[in-house]
Amino acid sequence: MSVDSGLATFRGTDGLWEGHEISEVATLEGWFNDPGKVLEFYNQRRAQSFAAKPNEGHIAVAELEEYFDVTVITQNVDDLHERGGSTNVVHLHGLLREARSMDDPNIITDIGKEEIKLGDKASDGTQLRPNIVWFGEPVPLIEQAASLISTADICIVIGTSLVVYPAAGLTDYVKVNAPKYIVDPSNPEIHTYDEWVHIKEPAKTGMVKLKEKLIKEFK
């Protein structure tokens, strides 16, 4: 979704994120090996995300709230959905604009675009770390997301390869008879395309078309 706003995907086809090995910047092992490097990496990503602007896809999703009860479940760690106007967003993998305690994941601070430095402490006295779900860590909101999807009347999958679990497994919870749409220029790895309408375009153009289609068909 945010690629069309100039932000790199969490993990590219080469297994890297902005040229860095995932194991170095997105795992607990990477953090314990070199916390300074990890903090600097996310400080740069945070600055990039604040410099980016919501694209037409983000705005189209937000505009659907005029006609539907919309919940966005995203793997993206930027806040472009919120800045695009969406009011109900579930961030499965955390948020760049938040920092949290090393020991207590419930102690979260909204730092905006500020940097996190070594020595910056949470209220419990532990080092602040990015509030990002790293590889190998549990995804705290996955059960909430599964529950939301299981009750949805319409499901839209936007701009994901559907290879990163557990998020990729959420499509298994969609109601059998619910209309299902995929907006992505590639072919996400889904069990079967028989039940899905595939709009093979980037989010910024595909979502604009899908928004008009949904309004015409269901409103």
Q: What is the pLDDT of residues 138-184, one digit of tens each?
A: 999 999 999 999 999 999 999 887 766 788 789 999 999 999 999 99
- 4: pLDDT confidence band, cut at 50, 70 and 90? very high
Segment 25-69, tens digit of pLDDT: 999 999 999 999 999 999 999 999 999 999 999 999 999 999 999
Segment 58-113, tens digit of pLDDT: 999 999 999 999 999 999 999 999 999 999 999 999 999 999 999 999 999 999 99
State mean pLDDT over 178-205.
87
Neighbours of 160 (CB within 10 A): 21
CATH architecture for the domain at 3-218: 3-Layer(aba) Sandwich (3.40)
- What pLDDT, on a 0 to 100 scale, did the predictor assign at position 19? 73
**Where do the structural domains in the chain lie, given as residue ranges?**
3-218
- What pLDDT, on a 0 to 100 scale, did the predictor assign at position 52? 97
In total, the chain counts a number of residues equal to 219
- What pLDDT, on a 0 to 100 scale, did the predictor assign at position 194? 77
| pTM passes above 0.85 | yes
Among the listed residues 186, 38, 17, the one whose alpha carbon sits nearest the alpha carbon of residue 117: 38
- What pLDDT, on a 0 to 100 scale, did the predictor assign at position 119? 97
Q: Which residues are catalytic?
A: 93
How much is the mean pLDDT over the chain? 92
- What pLDDT, on a 0 to 100 scale, did the predictor assign at position 195? 85
- What pLDDT, on a 0 to 100 scale, did the predictor assign at position 190? 72
- What pLDDT, on a 0 to 100 scale, did the predictor assign at position 17? 65
Residue 217 to residue 219: CA distance in whole angstroms: 6
Instruction: Work out the burial of residue 1: count CB atoms within 10 Å of its CB; fewer than 13 is exposed, 13-18 middle, 19 or more buried.
Output: buried
Higher-confidence residue of 178 and 190: namely: 178
The CA-CA-CA angle for residues 115, 120, 123, to 5°, reads 120
Residue 60 to residue 86: CA distance in whole angstroms: 9
- What pLDDT, on a 0 to 100 scale, did the predictor assign at position 159? 86
State mean pLDDT over 191-198.
80
- What pLDDT, on a 0 to 100 scale, did the predictor assign at position 191? 63
